[in-house]
Every structure is written in C-alpha cells, then in structure tokens.
Amino acid sequence: MPCLSTGTTAITALLSENVNIPVLVACGIVNERLAKAARIVGAQGVFVGTRFILSKECRAADATKKDIMDTHPDDFIVFTQSNGYSKWRTTPHKYGKEGLEANKNGDMNPPSGSFYYGMLKGDLDAGVNTVSNLSGLIKSIDSCEKIVRELGAPFTE
C-alpha cells in the first residue's frame, strides 16, 4: 500500500463516514487531547506506538527514550524506502541522514539499519529511531497503565 499524505484526522473522518465497521486510529496519538480528537471524528479506539516507546515498561534503551524526548519536531528526518511504499520518520542520526541523502540521489530503497541495535540497545547510529512527529508533546515517561487510562478516557465518556 502506498504511503498516504492525507492527515490522520481527515482519514479517520472519511473512513468513519463510509464504512460500517469500527475504525481504529493510528499515527500521532500521544496524549488525551489527540485521542479525544480521534473519537470526535469517528474513531472507536486508537493504536499507539511512540507513546509506548516512552513508557517505563518499554525495553527500548534509555538512550533511545532520551533521544526521542530531546529531539525537536523540526529535526526529524523523513526518508522513503521500499520504492516509495514506506516512509520512516526518525531522529537525525546515521541511517536517517544516509536515507535522506540516498532519496535525493534517486535511491528509494536505502537501508534503515537494525531496530534491535538502534532502538532496543540504544546505538543511535546503528538504525533508525522511528517516531511520531508529535513526540514533542510527550512530556514524561509514564507507566503503561497510566498511558492506557489517559488515552482510553475519551472512549469511555
């Protein structure tokens, strides 16, 4: 499936108006306000990634978590992979920079390195540290229980 350029809110509103099945929202749901916005435009739930990377229980390295928390949203690098079918938003390290440069030179399938060494082990130059562009809205590393309660609250009102 090609990477879509339509925003999460627009896709959610369009889907919820045109299908007769529950719609779950993924991409950029990092706090209660964004979960509530998803509910308002028709989502029945959310699928969350980056917010759980920044949880106490996540096995990602502390260096990975610190890198996400310290990176300004304008610093993220987005590069295309899989001949245009995938895009990675990553903090600005080796594979992200090389991927962006490869794209500029016509290579739409550059390597992304190792998620194991990059994110889990915290060697930020060993692989992409892929995140939501809204990660700057995450202000603390919380327990999964607290995150679930926060992001689930709009769906229990």
Spatial CA neighbour of 148 closest among 38, 70, 32: 32
Interval 139-153: pLDDT, tens:
999 999 999 999 999
Spatial CA neighbour of 155 closest among 41, 52, 19, 11: 41
> What pLDDT score was predicted for residue 5?
60
Residue ranges covered by each domain of the chain: 1-58+140-157
**pTM, rounded to two decimals:** 0.84
Q: Residue 104 pLDDT > 90, yes or no?
A: yes
DSSP secondary structure, 7-32, as one string: -HHHHHHHHHHH-SS--EEESS--SH
Interval 19-67: pLDDT, tens:
999 999 988 899 999 999 999 999 999 999 999 999 999 999 999 999 9
Mean pLDDT confidence for 77-104:
91
